[in-house]
Structure 1
Amino acid sequence: MKYSACFDIGGTYIKFGVISSSGGIFTTGKVATPKENAAIQIPEIIAHQVALMSQKYEIQNIGISACGLIDHERGEVLFSANIKDYSGLQLARIVKEKTNLHVSVENDVRCACLGEVWLGAAQGKQDVVLLTLGTGIGGAVVINGRLMRGAGYLAGELGHMSIVHDGESCPCGFKGCLERYASTGALVRHYTRISGNDSANGNDSANGKEIMDLVKKQDPHARAAYDNFLDYLSTGLVNITHLYNPEVIIIGGGITAQGKSLLEDIQEKYQHKVMDVYKVSTEITLARLRNHAALYGAYTVVNQVEEMVR
């Protein structure tokens, strides 16, 4: 059986696992992402874990899902705002030198999307969009079974779709981006503004889960913030639908732990806004693979499963 060592490099943790050609996942774990000297330490961490994996499994290659803007062809981190000393790292080349194995690197949200296409919520689908809701919004687009990367490997930054003219300033340098209104971070900010309170429970700073708990209790401030969030998110989903006409738009991120109730609320807003002709062809659903999605996607990239599922 073919085994790959797969890694998901995030701003807080580096997750890893051994994945088989049948989709089995073994020896999963995580280590803290280095706060300093990331360009040196991250390749060393990967090489060390691969050496440990190789004691039990015949590792044939290495798939890496990485936060930031990634040049997949060169295996290079073009830019990362979340990890110090990480931008410009020729990750694939260095890891290959340390392990003598073929290495592929791709953006984490794109990997998560490919994972959902292979084994998750979009299995068997050819036209798929993934939105991940967190502090910001990540995006990935699959058209005709192929991941859309773009001329500069920058395609799919759907969180920076402008939806409010001259709106809130975004860390990207522009104003009115979708992620300033429809991310979990936006939900928290709006709740804080209208409640005049930076705490949802009287002790800690507000977070998405606490606000959703208050929504269920019909707290007026939480309800207003949530309705605002749904309005903007559904507008973004409609724009994506009209632009790409995907078979499915998958929504991921921690807030999706709310499950069916969240999905129904999103769908209700969406159905009132989208053009009728699109309602039959595009489905809105929640991600299924959660923490393992990007690892599975890293496997598809290094083994070219994205070609096999077409």
Structure 2
Amino acid sequence: MEQNMEYIVGVDLGGTKIATALLDLNGKILRRVRNETTPLKSAKEVIDCLIHSVHKVRGDIPITGVGVASPGAVDTKRGIILNGANLPEWVNIPLRQEMESQLELPVQIANDANAAAWGEYYAGAGKGSKTMAYITISTGIGSGIILDGRLLLGSNGYAGELGHTMIVQDGQLCGCGQLGCWEAYASGTSIARIAKEAAEKKFSLMTELAAQDGTVIGAKHLFKAASLGDSVAIGVIDEATSYIASGLKNVIHTFNPDCIVIGGGVSLAGDDLFAPVLEKTKRLVMEPYRETFRIVPALLGEDVGVVGAATLSFT
């Protein structure tokens, strides 16, 4: 480690793991550790594991602070986990207070999607942009907004839930309990549902490819079948990219980002996804917006959580 260099620690807290990393102020990862959360039975055990992981990754290196990315609803301003999704007893936990009292260091807490958005803005695909939207398309749709260089939190820290904006009036039931949400049409789970329904109506290579893997139809089978000329898969991709573009139109008209970063498993499809999404989005937005943005894949991969969490102190 260089003398006179400052270091920070980022923690990505998930339902199955705690990923912790030591970084320099440029967002470069220098050390990392990983712990499983599944054996932990209480909130206290999770917090103890968090504290231990920070001490382990820093060693004897002085650090200036710690950032934590957590799933679920997070009150960023007060540092409280309101609902930690799959974590045991993870309701109304004053995590920042607990960690600061034990570590004697400043601690920042954020929702994992907001932390990921900041990570891609600070050190990833959105670096150098002014206003950036981060959209992760996986099981659901997570998102975060950087507005004029600042992470948009809203009055209660809940801003940026773009997956639950409506794109179809009285449409599909979403996991949030409402109808017609973007997530209900454009998430990886929803695209897989559309593909499965299409393959049940008409023969498709997607069915054979999934059977070879011993799994249900997923994004991998969809894009593979399309690359082999399967008309059903090609039709599903056309439908899915139209839904993605519909949501992005709302994002662009609302926030006027110069950069939209797409993460999550679906984004790994490459140009098969990005080319039609860009073309359709440009067609949907009003004319003055059409050359004001770019749509790019995320760069940080599985490190996005720790990088975003660690650099939260620079928001």
Distance 1:50 1:175 in 2: 42
1:262 matched residue in structure 2: 273
Residue aligned with 1:84, SS: coil
2:203 matched residue in structure 1: none
1:273 matched residue in structure 2: 284
Contact 1:130 1:249 in 2 (8 A): yes
In structure 1, what residue type is equivalent to 2:296?
Answer: T
Distance 1:27 1:54 in 2: 8
TM-score, L = length of structure 2: 0.91
2:135 matched residue in structure 1: 131
Q: Name which of structure 1's ranges 227-236 and 276-285 shifts more when overlaid on structure 2.
A: 276-285
1:42 matched residue in structure 2: 46
Q: Check if 1:153 corresponds to 2:157.
A: yes
Deviating above 4 A after TM superposition, structure 1's stretches of 4 or more consecutive aligned residues are 197-200
Contact 1:134 1:253 in 2 (8 A): yes
Gap runs ≥5 in structure 1: none
1:286 matched residue in structure 2: 297
Residue aligned with 1:22, SS: coil
> Which of 1, 10, 13 is 2:14 aligned to?
10
1:90 matched residue in structure 2: 94
In structure 1, what residue type is equivalent to 2:145?
Answer: V
Q: Name which of structure 1's ranges 38-47 and 182-191 shifts more when overlaid on structure 2.
A: 38-47
2:216 matched residue in structure 1: 205
> Which of 16, 28, 33 is 1:24 aligned to?
28
The CA deviation string for residues 176-208 of structure 1, in whole angstroms up to 9 with x for no partner, is 000000111111111111212988521212222
The CA deviation string for residues 77-127 of structure 1, in whole angstroms up to 9 with x for no partner, is 112333332121111112223322221101111111111111111112221
Contact 2:20 2:54 in 1 (8 A): no
Name the CA shift for 1:211/1:35 in 2 (closer, same or farther; >3 Å): farther
**RMSD after superposition:** 1.8
In structure 2, what residue type is equivalent to 1:186?
Answer: S
Name the CA shift for 1:3/1:267 in 2 (closer, same or farther; >3 Å): same
Residue aligned with 2:64, SS: strand
Gap runs ≥5 in structure 2: 201-205
> Which of 250, 253, 258 is 1:242 aligned to?
253
Name the CA shift for 1:206/1:186 in 2 (closer, same or farther; >3 Å): same
Contact 1:131 1:249 in 2 (8 A): yes
Name the CA shift for 1:57/1:260 in 2 (closer, same or farther; >3 Å): farther
Counterparts in 2 of 1:164-183, with a 5 A limit?
164-183=168-187
Contact 2:259 2:295 in 1 (8 A): yes
Distance 1:114 1:140 in 2: 8
Distance 2:244 2:144 in 1: 16
Work out the number of aligned pairs and report it: 304
Residue aligned with 2:126, SS: coil
In structure 1, what residue type is equivalent to 2:186?
Answer: A
The CA deviation string for residues 275-306 of structure 1, in whole angstroms up to 9 with x for no partner, is 221012122111111211221211221x3x22
Cα shift at 1:76: 0.8
> Which of 66, 77, 83 is 1:79 aligned to?
83
Q: Name which of structure 1's ranges 95-104 and 167-176 shifts more when overlaid on structure 2.
A: 95-104
The CA deviation string for residues 49-95 of structure 1, in whole angstroms up to 9 with x for no partner, is 12212324223321101111111121111123333321211111122
Counterparts in 2 of 1:208-223, with a 5 A limit?
208-223=219-234
The CA deviation string for residues 24-60 of structure 1, in whole angstroms up to 9 with x for no partner, is 2122232222365341222111111122123242233
Name the CA shift for 1:176/1:199 in 2 (closer, same or farther; >3 Å): farther
Distance 2:75 2:207 in 1: 39
Residue aligned with 2:107, SS: strand
